[in-house]
Chain A
Amino acid sequence: MNFQRAASRILSTSGVPIVIALVIVIIVFQIMSPVFLTSGSVRDYINNAIPILLLTVGVAIVIVGGGIDLSVGTVAGLSAGTTMWALVSGAPTWTAVAVGVATGLVFGLFNGLMITVFGINDFIVTLATLNIAGGLLIVLTEKVPLQGVSTPGFSDLVYGNFLGVPTGFWIAAIIFVLMQFLLIRTVFGRRIFAIGIAPGAANVAGVNVNRVRLGTFVISGLLAGAAGVLLASRLGAVQAFLGNGYEFVAIAGAVLGGVSLAGGRGSVWAAVAGGLMLATLQQGLRLNGVDPVYFSIVTGLCIVAGVVFDRRIQQLVLGGIRKRSKSGPTPPAPAKLQETHLLGTGKQD
């Protein structure tokens, strides 16, 4: 019994299960192909994963606030496109970076305003902006060839070197630390959790629910913009369909990292661990000669696995609570709780 309680406490700590799983997966892949943990290979796959990790964090923050953002993938692609466009037009590096981040900001603001001002369902708005951003990138690539730029310093955003570590790592690490701080240590961050758990109660408690929700979408837009800039810097050329499907991987990563789709639970570093898990799976499959198309199946399965695991954890935790407060009123069954929870966060039409 004691063991069970300890196990349930450890496993229900946000981020612990995914880190354990990540370590196991890395060990398995290392046994299967010994080149897996060579420094070049690790650097490559983390470098490739960084833009999607940024998207994962953005989506995770939106999901913690009880929303969803499907547009991050194509917005990142479009931001990469506008960044390259600025460079092709002869802008210096920092202007181009600003253009890319601003593109993300505009889409984040648009999403947030449509959702908060008009009360439209968030995944429909972001589904629409997914198409709009993807369409804009297609149009942009037809108008301007987005490649062949040699602006000094731009490729250093990812490939530069600081203290022996690529600059892309540093940028990503700083953003992750900032976001974790924002989510856990600031009033705004606590309010994100509050509106994710129960928007009605948060409203009664004096939280401006719409403003906080708008904030989460703006953050996700900004991170998508940053991801786009890093994508452009790494690739050096932007194709028409860049970013398509990234939202799927980002959501899967967040869910794997224990971010509850019902809202109100999750953390940045756990989401990053979830994203790394997917990147590791992808790299491991590639090294073992598995066709990359299997990856979309793996991602789909990971979402399902993450949600199922999340529900089991909830049941464990609630079971623990029920045992401890035998005299008190019985809390509702976990499955029901989640359902009413979803109904509660389900916004108007």
Chain B
Amino acid sequence: METTSLKKNQTVVDRVVTRLLVDPTLGVLALLVLICLLAAFTLPVFLNGSNLYNLVNNSLVVMILAMGMTVVLVSGGIDLSIGTTMALCAGVSAAAMNFGLPLFAALLAALAMGALVGLGNGLLITRLGLPDFIATLAMLGFASGVLYIWTKGVPIIGYMVPEFYIIGGLTPLAGPLTLPMVIALLVALVLGGILGFTRMGTHFFAVGSSKTGAMQSGVRVDRVRMQAYIFSGLAAAVAGIIMAGRNTNVPADLGNGYEIQAIAAAVIGGAALSGGRGRILGAILGAITLAAAVNLINLVGVPSSYQKIVIGGILVAAVLANRISAIVSGKVRQRKAMVLEGIPA
């Protein structure tokens, strides 16, 4: 009853626009389609099969980072150290191989490093009470310092066994399918499953929406926030392992600038910086949208030195769009509530 009376008050166009603005995932999908259409008319090369394939392949590292970032954003935090953690974990896996450890041990070491950095972030935030972005900024400085001192500014090389070419996607698994694609899918399934179907996921949303409310409902807020950072550390480690394979060497500045791309992708995908909102599917589409925009700009012939400016601009635009979406969805909720109470809208 209520919903029909709500629908009667709106035109179809109005409803479609509202729906697009309210549902972040639909919004980013619309943006992606828009970019593709724009590209199809101006630059036919863009829709070329190999270009699209490269585009998706290039977006995978940012995609995995964005998924980890989404978990943190949903729980009301932010992780500025994610790029540096990725570089550090790449370094750990490479150095472990050089040390003579078997492959699985090297990968485990990298994952452990990621979890450790995440735990460190979580402890700084929950035990010392540092604001999230200050703690992770300090961690960024700390981790990059450690990496520089450790490598002495010389890239780590000589660890590339054939398996690493597969891990990095340089040698495809079967046909066009590469291992990073499979890994990204697995990470998406795991994190999406956790966010959507487990108690832990519900707790992430609860803590992100209202810490006080969650605490009063008996959620162990500090532990939940720590878990979120450990997940983002693990995601960074997975991305780092892929990066080590793809780059074939690990320079100390490998992760520079990746944190802003991860945040931008997550925010494009509808994750709210105020917490409590976000989707893994959104992060995936966000990463592809970001890669598509950068790809398009490169195809138009803008030099790659403009990339930083473009990504910064996209981040501002995405946050603005997100803000508008929040305002509209607030209004819609208000209207629904009024209809439910029988007040004419």
Which of B86-94, B123-131, B163-171, B229-237 is near enough to bind chain A? B123-131
In contact, B312 and A296 (Cβ under 8 angstroms): no
Select the stretch in B183-191, B280-288, B313-321 that faces chain A. B313-321
Q: Are A339 and B129 in contact (CB under 8 A)?
A: yes
Given contacts A131-B311, A139-B305, A307-B134, contact A296 B260 (CB under 8 A): no
Residues 287-322 (chain A) with a chain B CB within 8 angstroms: 291, 293-297, 299-301, 303-304, 307-308, 311
Instruction: Please choose the segment from A9-17, A31-39, A113-121, A170-178 that sits at the chain B interface, where 4 or more of its residues have CB less than 8 A away.
Output: A113-121
- Determine if B26 is an interface residue (Cβ-Cβ < 8 Å): no
Shortest Cβ distance from B277 into A: residue: A349
Would you call A348 an interface residue if the criterion is a C-beta within 8 Å of the partner chain's C-beta atoms?
A: yes
How close is B225's CB to chain A, nearest CB, in angstroms?
12
Q: Contacts of B316 on A, CB cut-off 8 Å? A: 114, 120, 125, 128
* Residues of A close to B274: CB separation below 8 A: 121, 346, 348-349
Verify B320–A120 contact, CB threshold 8 A: yes
Q: Which residue of B lies closest to A262 (CB)?
A: B131
With beta carbons under 8 angstroms apart, the residue of A300, A303, A311, A349 that contacts B129 is A311
Tell me whether A248 and B319 are in contact (CB under 8 A): no
Chain A residues with Cβ below 8 Å from B80 are 127
- Does residue A68 face the partner (Cβ distance < 8 Å to B)? yes
**In the bound complex, CA of A258 to CA of B62 (Å):** 37
A232 at the interface (CB under 8 A from B): no
In the bound complex, do residue B124 and residue A68 qualify as a contact, i.e. CB atoms below 8 Å apart? no
Cβ-defined contact, A307 with B306, below 8 A? no
Q: Contact check, B319 vs A135: say whether CB atoms are below 8 A apart.
A: no
Assembly CA distance A251 to B134 (angstroms): 9
Q: Is the CB of B319 within 8 A of A125?
A: yes
- Taking the nearest CB of chain B, how far is it from the CB of A172, in angstroms? 25
Instruction: Give residues of chain B (303-345) contacting chain A, Cβ–Cβ below 8 Å.
Output: 303, 305-313, 315-316, 319-320, 322-323, 326
Instruction: Compute how far the CA of A338 lies from the CA of B125 in the bound complex, rounded to whole angstroms.
Output: 12
Across the interface, B145 reaches (CB within 8 A) one of A131, A297, A343, namely A297
Residues of the B chain whose Cβ atoms lie less than 8 Å from the Cβ of A339: 129, 211
- From the candidates B141, B312, B315, name the one contacting A248 in the complex (CB within 8 A): B141
- Interface of chain B residues 132 through 172 with chain A (CB within 8 A): 133-135, 137-142, 144-146, 148-149, 153
Q: Does A257 lie at the interface of the complex (its beta carbon under 8 Å from any beta carbon of B)?
A: no
- Cα distance, A231 to B107, chains bound together (Å): 44
Say what secondary structure dominates the interface of chain B. helix
Alpha-carbon gap, A311 to B128, bound state (A) = 9
Interface size on B (CB < 8 Å)?
Answer: 48
Q: Which of B257, B311, B315, B323 contacts A349 (CB 8 A)?
A: B323
Chain B residues positioned under 8 Å from A342 (CB to CB)? 131
A132-B309 in contact (CB<8A): yes
Instruction: Indicate whether B63 reaches chain A with its CB closer than 8 angstroms.
Output: no
When chains A and B are docked, how far (Å) is the Cα of A307 from the Cα of B125?
11
User: Is B272 at the interface (CB under 8 A from chain A)?
Assistant: yes
B145 proximity list for chain A (CB < 8 A): 293-297, 300
How distant is B103 from chain A, measured CB to nearest CB, in Å?
Answer: 30
Chain B CB within 8 A of A130 CB: yes
| Mask: chain A, 110-154; 1 = CB below 8 Å from B; 0 = not | 000010001111011101111110111011001000000000000
Task: Identify which of A127, A245, A304, A338 contacts B138 (C-beta below 8 A).
Answer: A304
Contact A135 B128 (CB under 8 A): no
**Residue A24 CB within 8 A of the other chain:** no
B254 interface residue per 8 A CB criterion: no
Number of interface residues of A (CB under 8 A): 51
Chain B hits for A125, CB < 8 A: 316, 319
CB closest residue in chain A, given B149: A293
From residue 251 to 267 of chain B, which have CB atoms closer than 8 A to chain A? 257, 260, 263, 267
Main secondary structure of the interface of A (DSSP, over half): helix
Is the pair A297, B309 in contact by a Cβ cutoff of 8 Å?
A: no
Contact B130–A132 (Cβ < 8 Å): no
Min Cβ gap B331→A in Å is 15
The answer, yes or no, to whether A235 is at the interface (CB within 8 Å) is no
Contact of A349 with B326 in the complex, beta carbons under 8 Å: yes
Check A131 against B134 for contact (C-beta < 8 Å). Answer: no
Chain A residues in 8 Å Cβ range of B139: 300
When C-beta atoms are compared, the residue in chain A nearest to B261 turns out to be: A131
Whether A124 and B308, one on each chain, are in contact in the complex, defined by CB atoms closer than 8 angstroms, is no
Please, which residues of chain B bring their CB within 8 A of the CB of A348? Answer: 274, 323, 326
**CB of A335 within 8 Å of the partner chain:** yes
> A308 contacts which chain B residues (CB < 8 A)?
128
Bound form: Cα–Cα A341–B43 in Å: 51
Judge whether B117 is part of the interface by a CB distance below 8 angstroms: no
Check if B292 is an interface residue, CB within 8 A of chain A: no
Q: A127-B80, A135-B307, A304-B128 are in contact. List 6 more A-B contacts (CB 8 A).
A: A124-B315, A125-B316, A136-B309, A139-B309, A293-B149, A303-B134
Q: Please name 17 pairs of A and B residues whose Cβ atoms are closer than 8 Å in the assembled complex, sorted by A.
A: A114-B316, A118-B320, A120-B323, A124-B315, A127-B80, A127-B315, A128-B260, A128-B312, A132-B313, A135-B309, A139-B309, A251-B134, A261-B130, A262-B131, A296-B141, A311-B128, A339-B211
Residues of A whose CB lies within 8 Å of any CB of B are 68, 70, 114, 118-121, 123-125, 127-132, 134-136, 138-139, 142, 245, 248, 251, 255, 261-262, 291, 293-297, 299-301, 303-304, 307-308, 311, 335, 338-340, 342-343, 346, 348-349
Task: Give 5 closest A-B pairs by Cβ, nearest first.
Answer: A135-B308, A135-B309, A131-B312, A132-B312, A297-B145
